[in-house]
Amino acid sequence: MILVGLGANLDSPRYGPPRRTLEAALARLEAGGIRVAACSRFYRSAPVAASDQPWYVNAVAEVETQLAPGPLLDALLAVEVEFGRVRSVANAARVLDLDLLAYGDAVTAEDTVPALPHPRLAGRAFVLYPLAEIAPDWRHPATGAPVSSLIRALPADQVARPLTGD
């Protein structure tokens, strides 16, 4: 199972609010030959570092592709750029964020590109809740922990709620 995290907290000049941007990004992946096999509902979550940034809209998609992990990550980053993503400082607000969360059972070192599974996946409500929705039996490739256990271990301040409306 190949998992991609999607997030946005800034309006896109081309696509509008974050939810619409994520919908357009999913369509763009499909157009680029990355099949979206399943996608969670959209979730609303606070920025990771406490700030006055707008809240994020997030989702997790299961994708199918012939691309190996490195080229897949390159394709995701290219879509971010196409959608107007400008990388500046860590945890900055963004028009689109696409993360390669997991690639089957692959486990690589944290300093490898791409690091698999995503090094911060297990501690992020905005990843785990949507992931549990589309793959309730998923287990962390490195630890074997089920997604349900990872959710129970989240700090109380980690919140992700299904989004209603835009």
> Which residues are catalytic, by number?
85, 94, 97, 99
Q: Is 97 helix (H, G, I), strand (E, B) or coil?
A: strand
Residue 45, strand partner residues:
56, 160
For residue 13, whether the previous peptide bond is cis, meaning omega lies within 30 degrees of 0, is no
- What are the phi and psi torsion angles at 138 (to 5°)? -60, 140
CB proximity list for 100: less than 8 A, separation 6 or greater: 2, 3, 4, 69, 72, 73, 76, 114, 116, 118
Nearest to 58 by CA among 7, 131, 134: 7
d(CA 36, CA 165): 22
d(CA 128, CA 114): 19
